[in-house]
Structure 1
């Protein structure tokens, strides 16, 4: 019998299958720069390719991706799978955009951040790529239909019912149950430590990006002020002032462009990956909780079978076997899934950190070169 916290009893070790063969996605998808906004509706254009040839140009709205995620998550075949996270929807109404702009530029700022649909395109493209490259999800019929049918799926608002939310609340209570296998218990312990750490890192990194954006805005104001402060050129000292002023304004513009470019590149490298994996780790936590719930159900079925009266033995035995099969199948899938997930996470985070370091080095060199150039120009001036 499988007891809570015991290492004995039924275990998924014996039924673990051989690792699957490398999976090749059926399609490749690229989001184009063509994004159409009409009120609260934002339509993205997808270029779908197969065997190197474009087979379809599609228009999809964010609600279409929400429906696709709903289909993927509710598919029974997804038990034990760490579902790639759907990106958060960007602000499209003025009030939300104003709130986000103040978060980035400061509470007293009146500057509104322009629509950043290029970020939405990249995040949604990554989401589709993660689905397509997954050995199980990449074969999903709903995903295939989403990418091959010209018409979008039914645009219905996906909401959780009261019973579903209540079920989630009850399932969350089972998260504290000790696992029957050391492999999964160690993974649960790791997730409990890693998730808050990566969320904290993402928030701290975002603060750096927001600070850089505020510096860009301030440099822009300094440059404007310098350009407006020129004097009439009817006197020699006015001409000299204007020359120095012009050089300084040009230098400020150069530094502003460097900081702006650096902030955007930082956000699209390490910032992008920290955001992705802070949400992806939540998906792993959800998967592990689902497996824990199946484990608890299996334990309860074992106890019910032990206590069952003779006339209820057959029903209890059937329930026990079904619970055992569900738990074993989920554990088999989850073991391979966790190993795949950790390989992907390590590779992508290391690549992002390496890219971020290279960008920082390049930014520092560009800034140093700009300072040297401006100093040389000032030294060469004749007064």
Structure 2
């Protein structure tokens, strides 16, 4: 088992662009993900096996860096919800696109999570990242100490701070925009998921109809029966092609725009969490200022120190947050653009292949007539 990680500066020895989740292994109800990372030296690769708990271990170590100035202003790459073998309907709904198909979409989401961390100027320096990607031993399962990012307690104890008026118009505007975009991104992902699931149902129905047409085939020398059987066989081939076409269309939707919309939705939520953490610190700062103003002479100096510390911390958070927002806005446009381009390219290729195949079926049916 790995040693207890100390949060110190560390330089990654892997190429951040070549971190791949290549396979998922199932052992009963447990899942193990195989991660292959290219060494930065170019001399080989690291191969490690990680369970979902290991990903949570990494995330918690990143969350707990309270000694890093401005860490609360970071938009943390969102970790997908835990996948399960034979998952319930509730879990499948939570996973959305990541619960479709085999395991490729989910592995792709974990891969994106790791690449985003490795590319982050602050998060990539945490020693836990290097250990996670390179050590053959599994990470420790010890609980990381409670910290500012405990989402459950944050939601319960700090909910009232969400609507607090911001003193900085930049952040107030960003909070307003994020509220709208988070809702739109979630709705877009849900609606597109409905489209994909409908396509999958159509593909299954075409497959069933194709198989049913074979039941109409009758043996015998009767010419009418032979002609009817031949027509049924040909129609069965047509519907089988329709099944394959619709299956490819659905797979293309998932692997391109579907994953893009899913990531956009989860990142909007990650930005919302960052903005909320900053708002909580703003409330704390305002409280510290009021306490300093009202403090009695004997406690005045101590309260002033608390106020200065809160101001320094808040300034760090705001500085990091503005950089993160600028980086995020550029990255999300590029990400969605790439997803749309890939979606169009794949669907055009599928359409051309299907058109050629359907044209062959059409010529065959004309020949039969």
User: What is the TM-score of this pair, normalised by structure 2?
Assistant: 0.87
**Aligned pairs, how many?**
348
* More off after superposition, 352-361 vs 128-137: 352-361
Tell me, what secondary structure is at the counterpart of 2:120? coil
Kept in 1: contact 2:189–2:261 (CA 8 A): yes
- 2:3 aligns with none
The aligned runs of 1:81-92 (5 Å cut-off) are: 81-92=74-85
Q: Unaligned 5+ residue runs, structure 2?
A: 1-11
Q: 2:105: which partner in 1?
A: 119
Question: Quick one: structure 1 residues 186 and 363, their matched pair in 2 at CA, closer, same or farther if it must change by over 3 Å?
Answer: same
How far does residue 120 in structure 1 lie from its aligned partner after superposition?
Answer: 2.1
| Cα pair distance change 1:337/1:64, threshold 3 Å | same
1:294 equivalent to 2:294? Answer: no
Cα-to-partner distance string for 1:110-163 (whole Å, 9 max, x where unaligned): xxx9972222211111110111011111121111111121111123578979x9
Going from structure 1 to structure 2, the CA distance change for 1:99 and 1:213 (only over 3 Å counts) comes to farther
Q: Which runs of 5+ in 1 are unaligned?
A: 1-22, 105-112
Q: Which residue of 2 aligns with 1:243?
A: 230
Q: 2:60 corresponds to which residue?
A: 70
Alpha-carbon shift at residue 381 of structure 1 (Å)? 2.3
Matches within 5 A, 1:189-200: 189-200=176-187
- RMSD over aligned Cα, in angstroms? 2.6
Judging changes above 3 Å, is the alpha-carbon distance between structure 1 residues 251 and 53 closer, same or farther for their aligned structure 2 residues? farther
Mean CA deviation greater in 72-81 or 221-230: 72-81
| Partner SS for 1:29 | strand
Q: 1: CA distance between counterparts of 2:51 and 2:26?
A: 10
Contact 1:91 1:97 (C-alpha < 8 Å) held by counterparts: no
Structure 1 residue 131 corresponds to structure 2 residue 137: no
Partner of 1:96: 88
Deviation at 1:213, TM superposition (A): 0.6
Aligned twin of 2:45: 55
- Are 1:58 and 1:150, in contact at CA under 8 Å, matched by a contact in 2? yes
1:39 maps to 2:4: no
TM-superposed deviation, 1:86: 0.4
Q: How does 1:218-237 map to 2 (within 5 A)?
A: 218-237=205-224
> Within 2, Cα distance between the matches of 1:273 and 1:257?
24
